[in-house]
């Protein structure tokens, strides 16, 4: 059983980590930003960046009131600049600035954004109550992303953009629920996405691009500087050896680099941890929403087998799978055991303070005691933590227990990304049939 779970995790992570590290692109962006010109030495036209920032600044009145629909124009503006390193860097610089330099107006904007967040959360609560059962999970996760937003005393353009984008996500998710309730075939037919389905996917993908830019402003580069080559090498070794301890050691550098995002001056920083979790929730909701036309009617694991033969053209790559796995892991951990999850990260950072300053291949990281976390997890799902059966117990909960809705959604969205990146055939490495239901059946044995 442990070997089966291990193989599935290894395949999922290998699929997700075979593409280039985001760090390659961020370094290229840094170089271009320092040059101030493109490769031909010609200054970029920043008109589109100006339009993007004006959509935000123009959404705030002198009295501090905010027009979120106006602010949401940032989504289409990002679509115009995202393929230019210079323009993206310039936009990130603008987003890091405060909405206003006037203290009185800043206080009014903070209150206004907090009220907007509360209003969106309340509307989602009502939508959840009225939604079809299979749509509740999407809406609940979007609400969790909204509820995780924290507005500073002097709100930045990035904070305003985040609220505006998540407001758009909330409206689109509610629209999905309404359409599925009225006509389950309105989003997807035998030819692929319908016009309505494409509109939903496009909206979600635009929101995803915008939040990626905003997350970098917040110093949350979730996949950051991962050593892909070393990881793949260790995965190949582990695939021939079912030793879980060996596998965990191979992931220690990956885990360390993610946890290092939640530090400041070498110490665990709760504000950065909260920002990291909030960004994970927001970004995960974009993937969930983009995939929703394909997963809207799924009520059980076997329903996702149809996704493997669907015509998916959302532009996702295996790098998106890696992102989605990370976002889902941290989102789910925070949902199940928020305080225990935070304690594990803080303990890891504290115990590995010196090692976190050097990510060389020879560095070994100490894994903190996770018993309190596991106890909290099993308290959530209903049961008692037993190291010998923990894997089987959690898998059962993910299939038919308290985590079933979360598990169903994560499996479904991952399947959509696999198909879109044309890697679904690799599922046959886990099971000859190559279907999701067959793999889950194997793992349940």
Kindly state the DSSP code that residue 148 receives in the 8-state scheme: T
User: Where is average pLDDT lowest: 174-183, 247-256, 389-398, 435-444?
Assistant: 247-256
Quick: pLDDT tens for 412-439: 899 899 889 888 777 777 778 878 878 7
Asked if 211 and 165 count as a contact pair (C-beta separation under 8 A), the reply is yes
Report strand pairing: 192-193 vs 188-189: antiparallel
User: CA nearest 52: which of 106, 88, 98, 102?
Assistant: 88
Report strand pairing: 188-189 vs 263-264: unpaired
User: Where is average pLDDT lowest: 215-219, 279-283, 407-411?
Assistant: 215-219
Determine the pLDDT at residue 25.
33
Quick: pLDDT tens for 354-366: 888 776 556 677 8
Quick: pLDDT tens for 352-395: 888 887 765 566 778 788 888 888 888 888 877 777 777 777 76
Report strand pairing: 263-264 vs 267-268: antiparallel
Quick: pLDDT tens for 111-149: 999 999 999 999 999 999 998 888 899 999 999 999 999
Determine the pLDDT at residue 242.
42
- Per-residue pLDDT for 260 more than 50? yes
Distance separating alpha carbons of residues 190 and 213, to the nearest angstrom: 35
pLDDT mean across residues, the chain = 78
Determine the pLDDT at residue 232.
38
Asked if 88 and 29 count as a contact pair (C-beta separation under 8 A), the reply is yes
Q: Regarding predicted confidence, which is higher, 343 or 251?
A: 343
Q: Which residues are within 8 A (CB) of 360 and not within 5 positions of it... i.e. 6 or more apart?
A: none
Distance separating alpha carbons of residues 52 and 92, to the nearest angstrom: 11
**Phi, psi of 243, rounded to the nearest 5 degrees:** -70, 110
């Amino acid at each position: 059983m442990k070997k089966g779970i291990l193989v599935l995790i290894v395949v999922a992570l290998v699929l997700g980590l075979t593409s280039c590290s985001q760090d390659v692109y961020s370094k290229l962006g840094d170089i271009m930003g320092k040059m101030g010109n493109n490769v031909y030495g010609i200054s970029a036209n920043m008109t589109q960046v100006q339009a993007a920032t004006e959509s935000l600044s123009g959404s705030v009145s002198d009295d501090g009131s905010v027009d979120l629909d106006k602010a949401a124009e940032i989504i289409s503006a990002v679509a115009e600049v995202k393929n230019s390193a210079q323009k993206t860097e310039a936009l990130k610089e603008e987003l890091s600035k405060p909405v206003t330099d006037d203290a009185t107006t800043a206080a009014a904007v903070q209150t206004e954004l907090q009220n907007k967040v509360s209003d969106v959360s309340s509307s989602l609560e009502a939508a959840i109550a009225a939604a079809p059962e299979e749509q509740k999970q999407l809406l609940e996760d979007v609400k969790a992303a909204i509820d995780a937003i924290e507005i500073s005393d002097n709100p930045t353009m990035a904070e305003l953009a985040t609220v505006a984008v998540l407001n758009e996500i909330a409206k689109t998710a509610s629209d999905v629920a309404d359409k599925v309730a009225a006509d389950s075939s309105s989003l997807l037919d035998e030819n692929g996405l319908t016009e309505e389905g494409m509109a939903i996917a496009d909206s979600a993908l635009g929101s995803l691009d915008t939040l990626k830019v905003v997350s970098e402003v917040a110093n949350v580069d979730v996949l950051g500087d991962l050593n892909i080559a070393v990881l793949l090498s260790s995965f190949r070794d582990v695939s021939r050896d079912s030793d879980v301890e060996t596998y965990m050691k191979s992931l220690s550098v990956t885990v360390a680099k993610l946890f290092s995002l939640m530090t400041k001056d070498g110490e665990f920083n709760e504000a950065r941890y909260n920002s990291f979790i909030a960004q994970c929730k927001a970004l995960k909701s974009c993937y969930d929403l983009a995939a929703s036309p394909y997963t809207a009617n799924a009520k059980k694991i076997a329903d996702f087998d149809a996704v493997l033969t669907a015509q998916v053209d959302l532009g996702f790559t295996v790098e998106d799978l890696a992102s989605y796995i990370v976002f889902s892991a941290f989102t789910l951990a925070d949902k199940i055991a928020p305080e225990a999850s935070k304690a594990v990260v803080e303990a890891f950072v504290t115990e590995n303070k010196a090692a976190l300053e050097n990510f060389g291949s020879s560095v070994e990281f100490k894994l903190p005691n996770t018993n309190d976390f596991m106890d909290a997890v099993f308290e959530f799902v209903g049961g008692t933590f037993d190291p010998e059966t923990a894997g089987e117990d959690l898998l059962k909960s993910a299939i038919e227990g308290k985590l079933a809705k979360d598990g169903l959604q994560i499996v479904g969205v991952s399947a959509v990304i696999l198909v879109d990146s044309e890697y679904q055939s690799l599922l046959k490495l886990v099971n000859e049939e190559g279907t999701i239901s067959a793999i889950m059946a194997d793992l349940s044995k």
